[in-house]
Structure 1
Amino acid sequence: MAGQERAYDLVIRGGTVIDGSGAPGFGADVAVKDGRIAAVGRIAGSGAEEIDARGKIVTPGFVDIHTHYDGQVTWDHHLTPSAWHGVTTAVMGNCGVGFAPCRPEDHDRLIRLMEGVEDIP
Structure 2
Amino acid sequence: MSASFDLVIRGGQVFDGKGSECVEADVAICDGRIVRVGAIAGAGREEIDARDRIITPGFVDIHTHYDGQATWSSQLSPSSWHGVTTAVMGNCGVGFAPCQANQQDELIRLMEGVEDIPA
TM-score under structure 2 length normalisation: 0.89
Unaligned runs of 5+ in 1: none
Q: Distance in 2 between matches of 1:85 and 1:94?
A: 21
Structure 1 residue aligned with 2:11:
14
Of the three residues 71, 78, 90, the one matched with 1:81 is 78
Aligned mates of 2:50, 2:72 — CA distance in 1: 32
Of 104, 110, 113 in structure 2, the residue corresponding to residue 113 of structure 1 is 110
Give the AA of the match of 1:75.
W
Secondary structure of the structure 2 residue equivalent to 1:107: helix
Higher deviation after alignment, 54-63 or 82-91: 82-91
Which of 34, 45, 61 is 1:64 aligned to? 61
RMSD of equivalent CA atoms: 1.6
Runs of 4+ in 1 over 6 A off after TM superposition: none
Cα distance in 2, alignment partners of residues 75 and 115 from structure 1: 14
Letter in 1 for 2:45: A
Matched, 1:45 2:45: no
Which range moves more in the overlay, 110-119 or 47-56?
A: 110-119
Count of aligned pairs: 118
Task: Provide the identity percentage.
Answer: 70
Taking a change above 3 Å as real, the CA distance of residues 21 and 109 of structure 1, as seen in their structure-2 partners, is: same
C-alpha deviation, 1:119, in angstroms:
5.5
